[in-house]
Chain A
């Protein structure tokens, strides 16, 4: 099961562009900011603050609804149409996530249609995203990238 998901990660990465061998700057910055995430995580490893859409402030998760998890995932870039057309595809490797075990723990979220074995998560209100990742082979895991959401 895990192997299948890993396979899909590669496939998802390959879809827009060849997987970047050195991590892109965004991911490197996130890694450097690693200790900065600590203030968002409680002693039990849960999110201390509510998780919101960076763009419109829509409430994605209530405090305590998810646990902190590390996993390397490639998410397509959050880019507007014009810019996206110019830069045709690509994405960011993201490592720090809020892991949600029950899809109905989300306050508000949208699920894209399937891309291979994967559904991407977007803001329910303005559809900014992808903010997260879900593999159909693991029905109890929903990842929300810390660097793609706001915390309040």
Chain B
């Protein structure tokens, strides 16, 4: 068993027309035992930037605290929010600092950049960036998420349709994964608003 699969997770981000969505499952487990069904893996960095941390829950929490700390320092020095591209480089650098004793997390970063252009990106646990134009996935359900996203995704969706698509992709993927599921958390971000929705899912 891999340490990345210790707690179980499913994470996905998708690009729409001038918007993006990021979603995760809600399970916190210890191998096959479910500890909680209201766990948070997606965090808001600022109004137009979200990060999801799949993998080991403890490292997701540690990493989130370090990222918030670094982003706050940036805000104080620069008097502005970080661009998603910049933030992705920051995450990458923080992860690579621990090259030979990594955080066991695979992050997903999603944000709106200059002129509200959506940006999504994922990384491995040592910070190798993987940029995408359509969708990115991570976690123990990543294989099934690839399949679901590949067949459900359409370019330039409006926020409502994007929400439906990402939710259906997430819910159908976690049904084929024992370590993730128990509902979902979905954020749809447009230039003017952030909608957060909690999905009910299969409880088995």
Q: Is chain B a partner of chain A in the same complex?
A: no
